[in-house]
Amino acid sequence: MKNIIILISGGGSNMAAIVETARRDDWAGRYGARVAAVLSNKAEAKGLVFARSKGITTDVLDHKGFATREAFDEALATRIDGVAQPGEATLVVLAGFMRILTPVFVSRYAGRLVNIHPSLLPAFPGLHTHQRAIDAGCKFAGATVHLVTAELDHGPILAQAVVPVLPGDTADALAARVLTQEHLIYPRGIADLLQKV
């Protein structure tokens, strides 16, 4: 069995889209994969409520309880690795997990660590992507599913979706249109990767 561990910090709408797609498209039967757990660095993350309602194991590891980023990431990796049985593969999916991960953590899950970013990478890595796209006069924006590397918002691209930037767009309006596409391409990118891991 391939175990998908989803990391969240908030509402978890991308996590919910992945969970629903996995069930609807029978990832267990097609790919031998299941969403095994949802972990958060915030106890109040609303996505945990959704995960529990679907019978998915949840866990909270508050980053504020650790003196260093490295100590937190080591503890997080221990929790992730504790979900899988020996010999099972683990895919770690970042779905609004608002932490920059250390190179040691990233290398531990190399090729099995996935993120989604709300821009057409390599354009606009980092924060405030929608406003930056509007300010730059972009005619199109979008989202990118990619493998995580040590360099922030880089790594091999697994899927992208394009949305138009409309006249008079605000960052919030553009973000909402991009998010609808994120919910479609993130599960698709993960499904493609499951066939390779």
């918002």: which residue's tokens?
153
Q: Which whole-number Å values give the CA distances from 115 to 109, 136, 143, 160, in the listed order?
A: 12, 24, 11, 12
> Which stretch of DSSP H or E encloses residue 175?
helix 171-194
Catalytic residue status for 117: yes
- Residue 106's SS3 state is helix
Q: Which whole-number Å values give the CA distances from 55 to 20, 73, 156, in the listed order?
A: 12, 26, 32
Judge if the upstream peptide bond of residue 122 is cis by omega within 30 degrees of 0: yes
CA-CA distance, 49 to 41, in Å (whole number)? 14
CA-CA distance, 11 to 29, in Å (whole number)? 28
Amino acid code (one letter) for 75: A
Which residues, 6 or more positions from 180, have their beta carbon under 8 angstroms from its beta carbon? Answer: none
Catalytic residue among 117, 130, 146, 183: 117
Strand order in the sheet with 57-60: 57-60, 33-40, 2-8, 89-94, 113-117, 140-147, 157-164
Catalytic residues: 117
